[in-house]
Amino acid sequence: MGTYISNSPAETEALGASWGRNARAGIVIALCGELGAGKTQLVKGIAAGLGIPGRVHSPSFTLVNIYGGGRLFLYHIDLYRLQTPEQIIAAGLDEYLQPHGVTAIEWAEKWFGNDPLEAAQRLNLRLRWVNIRITDTAQRCISYEDFGT
């Protein structure tokens, strides 16, 4: 398990960029944290680390944004508007759990619950579970752990 203290959106993005540079195809990055915690900022960094050009924004209204043009595809999912695993599956989002690139899921606890080990085993995932906690106006505590194969 790792912990990172970010003191700015730029530092959060830099952490994501390092993850993107080291990402391998097939990883699912599950992002948990309250509104405004920095989930999308972290995904922007992942995209930059993958070498994806262009603007990255939250897919709150479309559910999924797909970004290409980098080392790997990035599938960016936002579950804010969905409430249950059944709604998520009915939306056809389970196809992104075995990506040919990297999948980043905001509000992942709505799909996987709060037991990442169980979710990784049940769904056969390579899962990075990320919790972002607001500790101050600009400061975030980002903890993360990898599960699965």
Domains for the chain: give ranges and CATH numbers.
2-147 (3.40.50.300)
Q: Which stretch of 29-38, 93-102, 139-148 has the lowest confidence by average pLDDT?
A: 93-102
Task: Give the per-residue pLDDT at 40.
Answer: 95
* Percent of the chain scoring above 90 in pLDDT: 76
**Residue 145's closest CA among 111, 110, 119, 107?**
119
Task: Give the per-residue pLDDT at 57.
Answer: 87
Dihedral sign, Cα of residue 62, residue 60, residue 13, residue 23:
negative
pTM of the model: 0.94
- C-alpha pair distances (Å), 78 with each of 1, 8, 22, 97: 24, 22, 23, 14
Average pLDDT over residues 21-27: 95
Vertex 142: Cα angle to 146 and 52 (nearest 5):
75
Phi, psi angle pair for 16, to nearest 5°:
-60, -40
Task: Give the per-residue pLDDT at 85.
Answer: 86
Task: Give the per-residue pLDDT at 149.
Answer: 65
Average pLDDT of the chain to the nearest whole number = 93
* 53-108 pLDDT tens trace: 989 988 877 899 999 999 999 999 999 999 888 899 899 998 899 888 999 999 99
* Distance between CA atoms of residues 94 and 26, nearest Å: 13
